[in-house]
Amino acid sequence: MEGATQTETKIRAESGIESGPRGPGCSLRHFACEQNLLSRPDGSASFLQGDTSVLAGVYGPAEVKVSKEIFNKATLEVTLRPKIGLPGVAEKSRERLIRNTCEAVVLGALHPRTSITVVLQVVSDAGSLLACCLNAACMALVDAGVPMRALFCGVTCALDSDGNLLLDPTAKQEKEARAVLTFALDSVERKLLMSTTKGLYSDAELQQCLAAAQAASQHVFRFYRESLQRRYSKS
């Protein structure tokens, strides 16, 4: 047991400039968010988790192409743009995951025959990119005033070779990890909206990660609440 904690601290010490010393349990990197920073989109947000940064813009509910029109609900589109080069398969797959998550919470039926477009731009990737994309998308949707059933957040967990659980891993930790699991959770029931995993893990570990993600989601939602309170406070 002692050996395990030793290696854990060693890995964390190695993990670079920005993460610094992490607590013995798990911690989230520092969060920052700025809303409404772009003038053209209806809603925009830039979300930072440590050095990972994603910018999101939302248009909608707006005019929709006839070919994409859905008669009883809004058409939700998500585009994710990488920083270098053209979007590839990885981006398409992430787009789909984010779109499915958004579709689960956005009340599209209130705006039939319209389009809601979420555009995400990766500004820097330093681990937990998908989680950061989800958080940025949520904050941008809130800024655009799109009606939603609940808020959502993304949390990434990593399991290292010793079976230790890491929350919000950096790029290096993700690379060394045995398994990386990303969950999207809703704010009302704290239930799972989306999960995507990579690597090997047992069912017990999956449940542990999920429970840890739920604990972490409380912090993220508190961050959402405080940032919105600050924005809409009168003082």
Give contact residues for other proteins (rule: CB under 8 A): 17-18, 20, 22-23, 25-41, 44, 46, 48, 51, 53, 55, 57, 59, 62-63, 79, 81, 83-85, 115, 117, 119, 121, 123-124, 126, 165, 167, 203-208, 210-212, 215-216, 219, 223, 226-227, 230-231, 233
Q: Could you please report the per-residue DSSP string of 42-64?
A: SEEEEEEETTEEEEEEEEEEE--
Closest by Cα among 19, 29, 53, 10 to 162: 10
Distance spanning both ends of the chain, measured CA to CA: 51
* Burial classification of residue 230, based on how many CB atoms lie within 10 Å of its CB (0-12 exposed, 13-18 middle, 19 or more buried): exposed
Chain centre to alpha carbon of residue 164: 22
Measure Cα distances from 122 to 34, 76, 217 in Å. 15, 20, 22
DSSP state of 17: T
Output 3 or 23, the one with its CB closest to other proteins: 23
Smallest distance, Å, CB 152 to other proteins? 18
Pairing of strands 75-81, 115-124: parallel
CA distance 204 to 108: 36
Smallest distance, Å, CB 44 to other proteins? 8
